[in-house]
Structure 1
Amino acid sequence: MELKGKTALVTGGASGLGEATVRRFHRQGVNVAILDMNDKRGDALAKELGDRARYFNGNVTNEERVAEIIEDTAKTFGGLHICNNYAGIGSAHKTYDKKRDAPHPLDTFKRVLDVNLIGTFNVARLAAQQMSRQEPVTDDGQRGVIINTASVAGYEGQIGQVAYSASKGGIIGMTIVIARDLAQIGVRCNTIVPGLIHTPLFDTLPDHIFEALENSVLYPNRLGKPDEIAMLAQQIVENDYINGECIRMDGGIRMTPR
């Protein structure tokens, strides 16, 4: 699918991987709808990018709000062709913490799955509905592309990541099913599986910990760049034969227990 002139919805689009993708898509002539809950960053980014960008405050778990945003996006830009799901949260709790004699808080587990897994599916299913109502944009009858985001933790989560790993493993597991479900309407679904990507969170770490993380990557020995994830998102959109895939973007890292 050619990028120029298409419209993309990017959740978590006001910062990190989402912002990098918004910026890359916009440079390629894509209209971008930024769905986030950070008004300051979202408004500033949309203002910077101009008429081909809009910011929407919304929670990905809210059915009515997401539906409103997708409808507004389609009306504003004439359709919706790309859905990039980056919005997510994390937690750090063991299944059972011996020191505190405490099991994993169940409400925290539910919250992580609600945002990461159910939120991703909520946006994907509503985006697919909108895409189904549009005319095909390729000779193969393609109407759109959904790109979800998992994590290497979905394959080899570390100690304390049980909720996060479960949510990302769920995204990995539903990728091929969504692709199969949506084949009949000409919509592809793929998942990006990032490793250690250099977002602002890592800048708060002590130097020795940061260096240890870099050295844990097989090659190259550094953290990934947000734009490298955005580049993969672009390539998934442009290559019509990539479908039902979970693509690791991690420098060959395989996570250790700690």
Structure 2
Amino acid sequence: MHIQNRTFIISGGASGLGLATVRDLHAHGGYISILDLNAENGNAIVNELGSDRTKFFETDVTDTSSVQAAVTGTTAWIAQTGAPIGAVIPAAGVGSPGKLVDRHNEPIPLERLDVVININLRGVLDLIRLCLPHMTTTTPLPPDNERGVIILVSSSAAFDGQPGQVAYAASKGAIRSLTLPLARDLAQYGIRAVSIAPSYFESNMTAQMSDKVRKSLERVLEFPKRPGKGEDFARMVRHCVENVMLNGETIRLDGGTRMPSKL
């Protein structure tokens, strides 16, 4: 799948790994539909990159009507630009760590679990299902008759989650698990599905960590001895777009690091 003159729908695109992906794909000729709850950031990015190939839609991924409005707005924009969907990248996500029972033997409020699952899993599936009818009807590209790719964001927590990550690991493990059946479901349309599982990356989520936790994580890094950067993630996204043989797989992007059970 080529990037130039294709539209890329990216949720969580106004910050962190999503924003790095927006900038990279835009730099390589893509049209970018940015879906995010932060309107101030989203509009600032459009001003930065220019409105000719970027469009922002204020979107709550836990609200189907909001997601539908963003998809409808994007398809109307595509009708004007003539740049069909090349990829959907649901990058919106939250962590919200917490054990199921706390030190006082009180169960975690269900609402805290719902927030993680609704954004990291339900919101992902909702965006994909609403975009797919607009991808399956595009003109396939030679030589493989490819129509596009779904690039999901899993996590190292899907493989070696840490204490307090039950809800987060469940949501990211679900992303890992659904990648292959999604690829199989979409094969008949020439649409691929790939997941990327980053480890410790610089992001809004990890910025909320204490210095103690951050230093503990840095001690277990293999090589390179640093957190991943948005540019590292964005390059992998670009590779997933361009390499048609990447399909049905979850790619660990972690520099060989395996998270320990305790920090």
Structure 2 length-normalised TM = 0.93
Q: For structure 2, list consecutive stretches of 5 or more residues without a partner in the other structure.
A: none
For 1:197 and 1:205, the matched residues in 2 are separated by 12
Give yes or no for the alignment of 1:93 onto 2:94. Answer: no
Deviation, 1:69, is 1.6
Q: Taking every aligned residue pair, what percent have the same amino acid on both sides?
A: 39
- Once the two structures are superposed, residues 81-102 of structure 1 have per-residue CA deviations (whole angstroms, 9 ceiling, x without a partner) of 21111101121211222x2111
Matched letter for residue 254 of structure 1:
R
For 2:49 and 2:33, the matched residues in 1 are separated by 11
Deviation, 1:200, is 4.6
Q: Is the 8 A contact 2:3 2:86 kept in 1?
A: no
Give yes or no for the alignment of 1:130 onto 2:134. Answer: yes
Q: Report how many aligned residue pairs link the two structures.
A: 257
Q: Quick one: which of 209, 219, 224 aligns to 1:220?
A: 224
Deviation, 1:109, is 1.2
Deviation, 1:250, is 0.6
Matched letter for residue 20 of structure 1:
A
Give yes or no for the alignment of 1:39 onto 2:42. Answer: no
Q: Is the 8 A contact 1:182 1:188 kept in 2?
A: yes
Question: Aligned in 2, Cα 1:205/1:105: closer, same or farther, shift over 3 Å?
Answer: closer
Q: Quick one: which of 80, 84, 93 aligns to 2:85?
A: 80
Match of 2:237 in 1: 233
For 2:205 and 2:110, the matched residues in 1 are separated by 26
Give yes or no for the alignment of 1:117 onto 2:125. Answer: no
1:13-52 equivalences in 2 (<5 Å):
13-50=13-50, 51-52=52-53
Question: Aligned in 2, Cα 1:106/1:45: closer, same or farther, shift over 3 Å?
Answer: same
Match of 2:180 in 1: 176
User: Runs ≥4 in structure 1, deviation > 4 angstroms?
Assistant: 200-209
Matched letter for residue 72 of structure 1:
G
Question: Aligned in 2, Cα 1:76/1:174: closer, same or farther, shift over 3 Å?
Answer: same
1:81 aligned counterpart, secondary structure: strand
Deviation, 1:54, is 0.6
Question: Aligned in 2, Cα 1:66/1:201: closer, same or farther, shift over 3 Å?
Answer: closer
Q: Is the 8 A contact 1:73 1:80 kept in 2?
A: no
Matched letter for residue 23 of structure 2:
R
Match of 1:7 in 2: 7
Give yes or no for the alignment of 1:63 onto 2:68. Answer: no
Once the two structures are overlaid, the 10-residue window that deviates more, 87-96 or 176-185, is: 87-96
Matched letter for residue 13 of structure 1:
G
For 2:241 and 2:55, the matched residues in 1 are separated by 21
